[in-house]
Structure 1
Amino acid sequence: MRLVKTSSVEANTKLGKAIYNENGRILINKGVALEGRMLKRLIDLGITYIYIEDKQTDDIFLKEPISDPLKREAMTTIAATFKKIHSEPLESKSFIMEKSVKEYQAIIKHIMSELNNNPELMSILSDVCVHDTYIFTHSLNVTLYSLAVGMELKLPTSKLETIGLGALMHDIGKVSVPKEILMKPGRLTDDEYEIIKKHSSEGFELLRNTHTVPLLVSHCAFQHHERLDGSGYPRGLRGDEIHEYAKIVAVADVFDAVTSHRVYRDAMLPHEGLEMLYAGSDRHFQAKIVKAFQHSVAIYPVGITVSLNDGRKGVVVKQNKSLNDRPVVRILEEEGYPVAPYEINLAEKLSVVVTDCDTTYKRR
């Protein structure tokens, strides 16, 4: 499989990894030849990157961070809760949350179990993220990233469960934001941005009034847009005024936001998203959390085409967990000319580094 930008794919290229919607239903199955209308539909749905079949990389497979059944269960639960809360009157919202918390807690435990048994780095770049379901996929992705960071920081199970629950519900306040503002394709007006910013406080109020939700979970919703230098919202907190759990969720939230397609911009690649986090390290985000995040996430996902500083070009086939910026690469070109494929491990070739990623694709 090869990871490519959807807009660069030629008609009749075969899909290498099935695409699902938020209900776990297959939109397009693996092996289907993508016709022109299908490709346009994927682009319109906001799917920036897809895996395709490719003869030179047909033995490369992506190891998912969690199983498809668990992912579908989590997405279905998140979607159902958000939709119920959105449709019910204010006095019923806490009751709905009360009923949902046990389901959420069970999901967090299942996710932690699967992550503990998965030695691979986190890579969820190519997951479907259609316009109408962004908030649900985002909530799950932020949970996966937050738990991976917490595990990297060696936090105890009890803290991980709280962080996971906080991450899963960090955007619950967005149920009160009008859809036309959430999905606006252009720049928000000042008034619209002020409405968006209220989701932190509204999520906090909903969660803190739910008796089965720990207060620290509520603070993940309340503080995930706060920044170390006081430039965040809703309270402009600084440094240690922000809880550690919220600092973790903040990093995960920003990374998933910039590496996911939105109606107003395309997705960044993981290494670009990580560069953004490092640019804000110790100003917006705690440095140790950014570093733990880097150690948890595949900077160059399996299947992506990379250029090396010695003129070679190839496809990432495997990660090195301790050195995630130095993957195993299958070389396909040297100085612009095709060569018989062979692999090099950048963890063993320290003078060779990745200089660029190429997600365009042309069949040979």
Structure 2
Amino acid sequence: MIKKISTEYVKPGMFIHDLNVDWMDHPFVRNKFVIQNDEEIAKISATGVREVYIDTERGLGLADAPTLEEVNAELDADLLRIADAPSPIIKISYAEEITRAQKIHLQATNAVKSVMRDVRMGQAIQMENVANVVEDITESVLRNSGALVGLSAIKDTDEYTFLHSVSVCTLMVTFAQSLGLDREMIRLAGIGGLLHDTGKMKVPNEILNKPGRLTEDEFAKMRTHPEEGWKILKEIEGMESIPLDITLHHHERMDGTGYPHKLPGSEISRMAQMAAVVDVYDAITSDRCYHVGMPATEGLRKLWEWSKFHFNPELVQAFMRTVGIYPVGTLVRLESGRLGVVLEQNEGSLLQPKLKVVFSTKSNTYITPIIVDLARPMGMGGADKIMGHEDPAKWGINVAQFLFAVA
């Protein structure tokens, strides 16, 4: 049985099932192991891990600790409560924006590649290209945020570093816009998102692209990237303070266990707190060379769970309302037994998005794709209900195939 316990109750003989933090927040070679001694416990605590999941069938247990099922049920109830709020206003449809968004996404990816290449070669970053890309992303988000957000969820593991930067930029712009920030602050949030991982170009490729867990020395080297990025960006004439702050502090945590400066939440700017949420969300929901990303809805559940210590709970709730409990590109299971890909949120209800229904679980086969608007009544393309999200791999469904072909 899998149970969740505070690290203060961990003792030798327990089997750690999940350290319950993002990969970049702990230096352990494995995420599942038996606790051998007090030194390992001290190491877990020192990395900022506050709660872990243990497997009581493979090691010692703890009476009265909640089970994984109980924890998830409580988290899901919280998500439904958080979802009971208006959705972002959408100016044009997903179908109208997706083609334009695809072009912008490609241009943004190429711009990030150019930035990273210039940094590797010791050349100056062309900030005019960065500014133009952020402007195009902002305009797309203001028209229909779901198009670029959905595209950002689809990543080639070989280009993760570049695509992650585009995703964080897109999500930061979307987040800032949904919080009602002015156009200048949205621009700065986007620049910070696009450039936040610039310092990774100072990390050797064999570490950056290692297809497995890092050693402690490699982990320490990887953790230098916020400061390395800040050093690079501060040399650019006219570089504003907000992108510098995002770059330096996007790995800080509210309980003071982050890096590079272990700042407490009161000393972390709101924009850096936003970037921390966005950065981790995109990282844990992305396939990478060493792990398979979790579905978006599970990623949001984890963010909310971790906000108890690591993130600003108010901002995590706001982010959930920004992207939706079932973000664009999520595969969901309907009450009818059909599976659909979320295309866009509906104004007024995050639990009733617009879908492309593509598969029947009853017949275990594809069906002719149809657009279903869950906010519409029976007979008008609606009146079904989401029962939960599904793993596309389980059903062999290529979400991108249906996400891009919206007709």
TM-score, normalized by the shorter chain, greater than 0.5: yes
Asked whether 1:210 is paired with 2:236, we answer yes
Asked whether 1:307 is paired with 2:337, we answer no
Amino acid at match of 2:339: G
Question: In the alignment, is the contact (CA less than 8 A) between 1:200 and 1:234 conserved in 2?
Answer: yes
**Structure 1 residues 97-246: aligned runs within 5 Å:** 97=125, 100-118=126-144, 120=146, 122-124=149-151, 127-131=154-158, 133-246=159-272
TM-score between both structures, scaled by the size of structure 1: 0.71
Cα distance in structure 2, aligned partners of 1:226 and 1:194? 15
Gaps of 5+ in 1: 1-59
Asked whether 1:74 is paired with 2:113, we answer no
Say which of 341, 354, 364 aligns to 2:387.
354
Q: Which moved more, 1:286-295 or 1:159-168?
A: 286-295
1:296 counterpart residue number: 322
Q: 1:248 and 1:299, CA in 2 relative to 1: closer, same or farther beyond 3 A?
A: same
Q: Which moved more, 1:249-258 or 1:219-228?
A: 249-258
Question: In the alignment, is the contact (CA less than 8 A) between 1:303 and 1:315 conserved in 2?
Answer: no
1:36 counterpart residue number: none
Amino acid at match of 1:290: V
Per-residue CA shift, 1:59-104, capped at 9, x if unaligned?
A: x96953962332222222211121121122xxxx5xx03xx12221
Shift of 1:150: 0.4
Q: Which moved more, 1:150-159 or 1:347-356?
A: 347-356
Question: In the alignment, is the contact (CA less than 8 A) between 1:125 and 1:260 conserved in 2?
Answer: no
Q: 1:185 and 1:269, CA in 2 relative to 1: closer, same or farther beyond 3 A?
A: same
Shift of 1:179: 0.7
Q: Which moved more, 1:113-122 or 1:153-162?
A: 113-122
The 3-state SS of whatever aligns with 1:210 is coil
Cα distance in structure 1, aligned partners of 2:254 and 2:98? 33
Q: 1:341 and 1:135, CA in 2 relative to 1: closer, same or farther beyond 3 A?
A: closer
Question: In the alignment, is the contact (CA less than 8 A) between 2:374 and 2:384 conserved in 1?
Answer: no
Amino acid at match of 1:81: V
Question: In the alignment, is the contact (CA less than 8 A) between 2:321 and 2:350 conserved in 1?
Answer: yes
Q: 1:179 and 1:154, CA in 2 relative to 1: closer, same or farther beyond 3 A?
A: same
Q: 1:331 and 1:112, CA in 2 relative to 1: closer, same or farther beyond 3 A?
A: closer
Amino acid at match of 2:232: L
Question: In the alignment, is the contact (CA less than 8 A) between 2:256 and 2:264 conserved in 1?
Answer: yes
Q: Higher relative contact order by CA 8 Å / sep ≥ 6: 1 or 2?
A: 1
Shift of 1:123: 1.7
1:324 counterpart residue number: 350
Cα distance in structure 2, aligned partners of 1:362 and 1:160? 38
Q: 1:68 and 1:212, CA in 2 relative to 1: closer, same or farther beyond 3 A?
A: same
Cα distance in structure 2, aligned partners of 1:191 and 1:109? 39
Gaps of 5+ in 2: 1-93, 398-407
Cα distance in structure 2, aligned partners of 1:254 and 1:287? 14
CA-based RMSD: 3.1
Cα distance in structure 2, aligned partners of 1:127 and 1:217? 25
Shift of 1:313: 2.9
Question: In the alignment, is the contact (CA less than 8 A) between 1:295 and 1:321 conserved in 2?
Answer: no
Say which of 298, 302, 316 aligns to 1:272.
298
Q: 1:62 and 1:357, CA in 2 relative to 1: closer, same or farther beyond 3 A?
A: farther
Asked whether 1:345 is paired with 2:374, we answer yes
Sequence identity of aligned pairs in percent?
A: 29
The 3-state SS of whatever aligns with 1:306 is strand
Cα distance in structure 2, aligned partners of 1:173 and 1:355? 38
Cα distance in structure 1, aligned partners of 2:219 and 2:173? 29
Cα distance in structure 2, aligned partners of 1:334 and 1:196? 43
